[in-house]
Amino acid sequence: MDEAIRNMKDVNASHKELEARELSLVPDLVIPHDFKMPDFEKYDGTSCPLIHLRMFCRKMEGYLSSDDLLIHSFHDSLVGPTIVWYNQLTQEQIKRWVVLANAFLGQYLYVKGLAPTRMDLRRVKKKTNERFHEYALRWRGVAAQVQPPILEEEISCMFRDSLPAPFFELMQANPTKEFENLVTSGDLIENVISEENSKVTSKSPTDQKAKAMM
């Protein structure tokens, strides 16, 4: 009889652990009727955690006074192993947003020390079949992680220096300091190159042979 009672208590205890309020990190959360979950940049544990926190909070502007909503929404900004870490947190551990933010920084602070340097950024080069716009976004993504941060006025110069021919030579004549303008110029150059290549390949072998005999 005593053993049966103990088993019943164990079952009741396990059922309590499965109740929604026990599984939730913020069981008393009331989501504002006008709230729409932002489209967060997903953090996978391989980039600077502080930068991710800044990006998250800027996406949540207008709701920064709601600790419960911040804690709840943070889950949607994570992916892969970082979600596993989040799901291991308990209500007892996380009472306020600042506690969650500090726990997150503590968990992934080592990644900050692995952030790319300026030397790493200089090694980033455009791939042979990579579209210019894709390369610009990839390069800027790495540049955003460099520690210490690169000054905005240095960005355009470093990006221009990373370009292969003929982009580099043609960009030298472009005095703009705006990264966006360099990307626009690069796209235009790429389009011109593509059109010229199309003209060459569209000529038939007969036409090319006849032109050579003239």
Q: Domain check: are 92 and 122 in the same one?
A: no
pLDDT in tens, 26-61: 888 999 999 999 999 899 998 888 889 999 999 999
Nearest to 121 by CA among 95, 152, 159, 156: 159
Picking from 108, 139, 159, the residue at the C-terminal end of a domain is 108
* φ and ψ at residue 65, rounded to 5 degrees: -85, -5
| For residues 96-122, average pLDDT | 88
d(CA 165, CA 171): 10
| For residues 7-16, average pLDDT | 50
Q: Domain check: are 160 and 88 in the same one?
A: no
pLDDT higher than threshold 50 for residue 14: no
- Any domain includes 69: yes
Q: Domain check: are 41 and 88 in the same one?
A: yes
pLDDT higher than threshold 60 for residue 5: no
- Any domain includes 206: no
- Confidence (pLDDT) at 87: 94
| For residues 148-176, average pLDDT | 87
- Confidence (pLDDT) at 2: 55
- Confidence (pLDDT) at 124: 92
Q: What's the number of domains the chain is made of?
A: 2
- Confidence (pLDDT) at 11: 44
- Confidence (pLDDT) at 178: 87
- The letter for the amino acid at 182 is L
Which residue range is the domain that position 61 belongs to? 23-108
Tell me what percent of the residues of the chain surpass a pLDDT of 70: 83
- Any domain includes 53: yes
Q: Domain check: are 129 and 179 in the same one?
A: yes
Winning range, highest mean pLDDT, from 1-5, 7-11, 97-101, 134-138: 97-101
Q: Domain check: are 190 and 145 in the same one?
A: yes
- Any domain includes 14: no
pLDDT in tens, 184-203: 999 999 999 988 888 776 66
